[in-house]
Structure 1
Amino acid sequence: MAFRELIDTHGPRLSPADRAIVDVLLSHPTEAAFLPADQVTERAGVHVAAATRLAKKLGCTGYPQLRELFRSELLDGTDAAGRVQRRLDRADDVLGGLVSDETAALRELPAVVPADRLDAVAGRVLAARRTLVFARGNATVLSGMLARRLRRFGLLVTELPGADRDLAEELISLGPDDLVLALAFRRPPRALPPLLRTAAETGAPVVVLTDLPATFGTGEDLDVLLAPRGSSAEFQSLTAPMAVANALVLTLARLAGDRTTPALQRLDELLDRFDS
């Protein structure tokens, strides 16, 4: 049964605390679908245990299962055609509306991606023996650009292949001196969880550039660069993630100019050689 159907069915049994949580979920679905129970209940103004009670009241084993149900309904109900149409229905001026939305998304970035986070991630890239870049779908457009820019800095980069068997073969040599840089937007690719488990087993640190808040934790071996792209119910572009990726590239240049500048100069020499 879908989330909204569960709410309608169990409506008479819902307490004021239950309804407060439901209001948070339905008022801000795109964000709330990825928040942990404590953040949802904090916004609802109720005790964190209320989230578990609500989940069990609706027939779930706990709040994580309820959140997954809500998240699946949110994503499954926003097909590509519908997302484009909702964006078109909002304004007659397509370019003007798009520029306005993208500008708003870009303005949020300095608050969600502070300079010290970029410095930390750049430090990990510079310290790695090699960087393995992972992406699927539309994200491969951005991952290819990022991998190329890292190579131009003289860094050793491997773009992980799309086929799962090829990916598995590439990960045989993964070690603690490597860095996995994954890009995941809208929903995590099917191959990403096994990749993260493999990285954890080998001790390889991971950086995830994503628009999925609270889907990936942060810890000693995992950093998240969050790039919100607006409502997932509408058409979304890669403008905000690309800005974060470019900021990471520039941060690398700032922190390691003694490495990146000679590499770029060598690139110019090689381009002249091959052009001639």
Structure 2
Amino acid sequence: MSAALLQDLRGRLDDLRPVQRRIAEVILADPLAAGTMTIDQLAGAAGCAQSSVVNLARELGLTGYRELRAALVAETARAVGDQGHLAFPLEIDPGDPLSVSVERIAAADARAVRDTVRLLDLEQLARIAARLAAARRILLIGVGASGLAALDLQYKLARLGLSAHALTSAHDALPAVVGLGEQDLLVAISDSGRTIDVLDALELAAAAGAGTLAVTG
């Protein structure tokens, strides 16, 4: 089935049997909502039997309702994604076919990236990039889940050829911060922005004359 499911459905309206036309009209009236319906819900909305929904799917060249729903979700995800936002629920139902779940996960990730880009201050981002590039040493500190972010950033900076080291416990981090100098940079990561050990590290780094950068949720 091509990506133009809705266009194909509109083009077939006049040729469909009355019961199939009712199903098609329900889908076309609100494709986003239709993509979240179970076969029972779609049949109920169209006032028909589930078998009629399956027959419509086969009329469109699909194997059944699961493939119809997956194609519908995929097309609406692409269409809404082009507009820069999502209007259909991203929750994954245990009964969803894998293809639907994958499309929703991909759509959620795409939205997160777009939202992040819209919030970026490019001038500030350029200053941060320059500071990272100029640093003699980059010390990354994160505790708990933020420690995973610190380790991930260490890997990415290392691939750029920068000297970065991540520490994920206060026991290791605070002594290391004391040894920082004016040419070094401390990157403190805390989702809440209130982690005491991370705040202490920032204060120590600033007192030592090192550059500081905070990353919060």
Report the TM-score when normalising by structure 1.
0.39
Q: Using CA pairs under 8 Å that are at least 6 residues apart, name the structure with larger relative contact order, 1 or 2.
A: 1
Rg larger in structure: 2
